[in-house]
Amino acid sequence: MYRLTILLCLLFGFNHATQAQVAKDSKNYKRIVKNDSLLFERSFNNCEMQYLEALLSEDLEFYHDISGIINSKRAFIETMKNGLCGNPIYRSRRELKKGSTEVYELKNNNKVYALIQKGTHSFFESKNGAAETKGSTAQFTHLWLLEEDGVFRLKRALSYYHILPKEH
């Protein structure tokens, strides 16, 4: 029994060590933080669609706990153009919760083929040019796949556990 306990502790410790998030000063962490900024600060907050073109995988899947599923890059970009960025009355701004970003590597034969990004973000809304009000806070998980051209593109996105301010 004693040997089994030691073996289980060693296996658990090894498994835990191999699944740790990457260091915040690593190349892959910095790469994902930059992609996140382009995706949200430039595309979502400022409606600069050229960044979506560059960052999204052609077969993007976006899962949202309130608005459902979007099954392609084209559909996602059209939703942004015609929805958030096409509405002169309503504006939404996303803010990443400081320190919430976690990045994990997925490897095959010790070579990174994808990165998982997890974090928390908040949204702020304004209508008809009025001052912003706090919208929801949510969790997100992104799968960034390393594509043939050496660029990590957003392949799968999950946005979930949206909580409105009154629920905090």
What pLDDT does 108 receive? 97
Residue 34's CB: how many other CB atoms inside 10 A? 11
Over range 21-49, report the average pLDDT. Answer: 97
The whole-angstrom separation of Cα 67 and Cα 61 is 13
What pLDDT does 72 receive? 97
- What does the angle CA 73 – CA 74 – CA 78 come to, to the nearest 5 degrees? 120
Which of the four pLDDT bands, split at 50, 70 and 90, describes residue 10? very low
Per-domain residue ranges of the chain: 23-167
What pLDDT does 38 receive? 98
Predicted confidence (pLDDT) at residue 76 exceeds the cutoff of 70: yes
Sign of the four-CA dihedral 131, 134, 136, 141: positive
Predicted confidence (pLDDT) at residue 15 exceeds the cutoff of 70: no
Which of the four pLDDT bands, split at 50, 70 and 90, describes residue 167? low
What pLDDT does 6 receive? 44
Which of the four pLDDT bands, split at 50, 70 and 90, describes residue 3? low
Write the pLDDT tens digit of every residue in 91-115: 999 999 999 999 999 999 999 999 9
Write the pLDDT tens digit of every residue in 140-158: 999 999 999 999 999 999 9
User: What percent of the chain is predicted at pLDDT more than 70?
Assistant: 88
> Which segment of 11-15, 21-25, 82-86, 119-123 scores lowest on mean pLDDT?
11-15
Strand ranges in the chain using DSSP code E only, listed in sequence order: 56-64, 68-70, 90-96, 102-108, 111-127, 133-146, 152-163
The CATH code belonging to domain 23-167 is: 3.10.450.50
**3-state DSSP call for residue 78?**
helix
